[in-house]
């Protein structure tokens, strides 16, 4: 143990490390890994989106206070573990939640508050561009937000000089480079994975469409330049080093890999970037990624076409709502236990309540929950109203209730995944699970496997999440052999000895979930009434 400690300390002091920073929807996390790709330390900062003036947003000042607090927490962790100061790193990567709308003028001033993936206010532009491109353009994609702003004749549109994602923005401030990894770029505008650029024909169609609406510039001129995994995307400037570490200990000069979205880093963190592999991330939102062997036969509004960080085609089913309503109920139970003076720690409470779901009846005893805190485009909801309902004869037990909440978190993703597996006959050997829904051992994993009818594997490293994934991409850029692919690097150098637990579908759970889904689909009529009347 002493030898391992000395090696780790020397690795840190010599800067033979990679730093990954990811801005998730509820947490900003920083992870430092060594040359062996194992985490040396981590730091995090909890944050929440705001609903201001009808827009789901995060303030950019919160971005930087969160990043700085995460880095400070990481530095303290390194100091406590190894008696070492974090003064230099070998490479850095930045990742963040994908999509949304961040636009700046020629002087770098933000023109409107950040419109996140959660907003469902771009339906007209989304539908129009989907028809124009004959390619699905989801409401949360950057080009849909831009198109809607143009249609709305918003005053800021004429001043737009640059548009990017949250990861692209942070990377730009750290390096001065306006670039983006291909996976994240694919959530801004359709890309050509072969050429590694934005789709030229679709760019031309957008420019013709926008010209008729007096947009006045070419879309390509305001988009970040695309890079793929392994390329160098700039170096940490002195100003960038101060943004990361206001205490002034971190030295500039470290190279950065292309910034990526949380979908791409999730694929990397679960080694799910080869054909027939896939992963499912379940937290505030939920999305499943399937790396395709061939293109889909049709355009589906429920399925996004994006890419891996290397440009391989990926079918993505993204749902805005997953655990937010469930988390609110756990918060209520926490409040009740504290009222009686017997409050457990939050993680322990989650563990007990999740495990109670395994005691519930297979179909949740006739209970119904809809978890829509915000709109849900897959089922055509512009707004959400979380609700719970039951029949007089329903069995209202705690086990059934918790099982119902967990099934509701999986309901909408099931609708999209059925298109891939049943209509398109996409073959998946397994799904790699990560995110908050899988933190309680066996429970979310078992229910998800049965819901989607595919084995779900959770690796020991799943808890490190996308921050570890982007740190791996930073390490790949710095440590790879000249012709080494990312697939080979991950399989042979990162995951060769990684342990994971795989759970296969259980028929009883599957049949119970199908019964719940019939109730869930019918219950969407109740949800529509709630949206209409609860103003």
Whether residue 476 is contained in a domain is answered as no
Single pTM value for the model:
0.84
DSSP state of 345: P
Mean pLDDT in runs of 10 for the chain (535 residues)?
84 95 93 94 93 92 97 96 95 95 97 92 95 94 97 96 98 98 96 91 97 94 97 98 96 98 90 87 90 88 91 91 95 92 84 96 97 93 95 97 98 94 88 88 94 89 77 96 92 84 94 97 97 94
User: What is the structure's pLDDT at 344?
Assistant: 72
Say if strands 50-52 and 55-57 run parallel, antiparallel, or are unpaired. antiparallel
Whether residue 479 is contained in a domain is answered as no
H or E segment to which residue 173 belongs: helix 166-175
User: What is the structure's pLDDT at 283?
Assistant: 87
Supply 156's token pair.
């800021």
Say if strands 102-104 and 162-164 run parallel, antiparallel, or are unpaired. antiparallel
DSSP state of 242: H
Neighbouring C-beta atoms of residue 390, cutoff 10 Å:
17
Distance separating alpha carbons of residues 81 and 83, to the nearest angstrom: 6
User: CA angle 315-317-318, nearest 5°?
Assistant: 135
Please check whether residue 229 is in contact with residue 473, taking contact to mean a CB–CB distance below 8 angstroms: yes
End-to-end CA distance of the chain: 60
Whether residue 53 is contained in a domain is answered as no
User: What is the structure's pLDDT at 462?
Assistant: 55
DSSP state of 276: T
Distance separating alpha carbons of residues 28 and 225, to the nearest angstrom: 25
Distance separating alpha carbons of residues 371 and 386, to the nearest angstrom: 5
Whether residue 349 is contained in a domain is answered as yes
Query: Read out DSSP for 391-443?
Result: -TTS---HHHHHHHHHHHHHHHHHHHHHIIIIIS----SEEEEESGGGSSTTH
Per 3-state DSSP, what percentage of the chain is helix, strand, and coil (rounded to 5)? 45, 20, 35
Q: Which of 183, 206, 187 is nearest to 196 (CA)?
A: 183
Beta strands per DSSP E along 204-329 = 225-227, 260-261, 277-282, 286-291, 304-307, 313-319
Location of structure tokens 């979930």: 513
Domain, as residue range, for 529: 334-408+507-533
User: What is the structure's pLDDT at 430?
Assistant: 86
Q: Which of 444, 420, 436, 418 is nearest to 501 (CA)?
A: 444
DSSP state of 235: B
User: What is the torsion angle, in degrees rounded to the nearest 10, for the CA atoms of residue 125, residue 129, residue 131 and residue 132?
Assistant: 140
Domain count, the chain: 1
Whether residue 358 is contained in a domain is answered as yes
Whether residue 384 is contained in a domain is answered as yes
**Phi-psi map region of 422: left, alpha, beta (phi>0 left; psi -120 to 50 alpha):** alpha
User: What is the structure's pLDDT at 176?
Assistant: 97
Q: Which of 186, 192, 193, 257 is nearest to 224 (CA)?
A: 186
Whether residue 351 is contained in a domain is answered as yes
> What distances in angstroms separate CA 267 from CA 182, 314, 315, 432, 471, one per listed residue?
13, 10, 12, 8, 13
Whether residue 75 is contained in a domain is answered as no
């Amino acid at each position: 143990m002493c030898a391992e400690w000395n090696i780790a300390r020397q690795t840190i002091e010599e800067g033979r490390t990679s730093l990954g920073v990811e801005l998730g929807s509820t947490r900003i996390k920083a992870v430092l890994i060594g040359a062996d790709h194992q985490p040396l330390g981590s730091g995090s900062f909890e944050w929440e989106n705001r609903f201001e003036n009808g827009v789901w947003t995060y303030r950019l000042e919160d971005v930087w206070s969160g990043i700085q607090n995460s880095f400070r927490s990481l530095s303290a962790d390194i100091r406590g573990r190894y008696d070492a100061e974090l003064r230099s790193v070998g490479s850095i990567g930045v990742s963040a939640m994908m999509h949304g709308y961040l636009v700046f003028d020629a002087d770098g001033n933000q023109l409107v508050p950040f419109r996140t993936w959660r907003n469902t206010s771009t339906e007209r532009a989304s539908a129009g561009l989907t028809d124009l491109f004959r390619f699905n353009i989801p409401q949360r994609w950057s080009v849909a937000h831009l198109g809607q702003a143009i249609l709305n004749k918003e005053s800021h549109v004429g001043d737009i000089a640059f548009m990017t994602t949250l990861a692209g923005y942070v990377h730009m401030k750290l390096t001065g480079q306006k670039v983006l990894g291909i996976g994240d770029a694919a959530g801004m505008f359709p890309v050509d994975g072969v050429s590694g650029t934005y789709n030229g024909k679709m760019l031309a169609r957008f420019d013709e469409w926008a010209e008729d609406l007096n947009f006045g510039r070419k879309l390509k001129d305001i988009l970040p330049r695309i890079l793929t995994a392994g390329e160098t995307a700039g170096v940490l400037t002195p100003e960038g080093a101060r943004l990361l570490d206001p205490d002034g200990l971190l030295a500039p000069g470290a190279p950065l890999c292309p910034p990526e979205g949380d979908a791409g880093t999730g694929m990397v963190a679960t080694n799910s970037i080869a054909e027939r592999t896939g992963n499912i991330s379940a937290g505030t939102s939920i999305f499943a990624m399937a790396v395709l062997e061939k293109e889909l036969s049709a355009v589906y509004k429920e399925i996004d076409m994006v890419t891996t960080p290397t440009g391989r085609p990926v079918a993505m089913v993204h749902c805005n709502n997953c655990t937010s309503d469930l988390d609110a109920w756990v918060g209520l139970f926490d409040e009740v236990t504290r009222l009686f003076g017997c409050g457990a720690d939050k993680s322990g409470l989650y563990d007990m309540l999740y495990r109670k779901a395994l005691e519930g009846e297979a179909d949740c005893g006739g209970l119904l929950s809809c978890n829509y805190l915000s709109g849900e485009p897959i089922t055509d909801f512009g707004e959400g109203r979380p609700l719970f309902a039951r029949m007089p004869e329903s069995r209202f037990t705690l086990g059934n209730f918790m099982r119902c909440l967990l099934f509701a978190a999986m309901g909408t993703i099931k609708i999209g995944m059925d298109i891939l597996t049943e209509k398109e006959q996409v073959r998946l050997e397994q799904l790699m699970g990560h995110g908050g829904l899988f933190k309680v051992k066996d429970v979310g994993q078992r229910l998800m496997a049965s819901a989607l009818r595919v084995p779900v594997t959770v690796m020991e490293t799943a808890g490190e999440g996308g921050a570890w994934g982007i740190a791996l991409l930073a390490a790949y850029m710095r440590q790879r052999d000249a012709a080494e692919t990312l697939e080979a690097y991950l399989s042979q150098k990162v995951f060769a000895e990684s342990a994971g637990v795989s759970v296969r579908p259980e028929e009883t759970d599957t049949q119970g979930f199908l019964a719940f889904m019939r109730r869930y689909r019918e219950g969407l009529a109740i949800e529509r009434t709630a949206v209409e009347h609860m103003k």
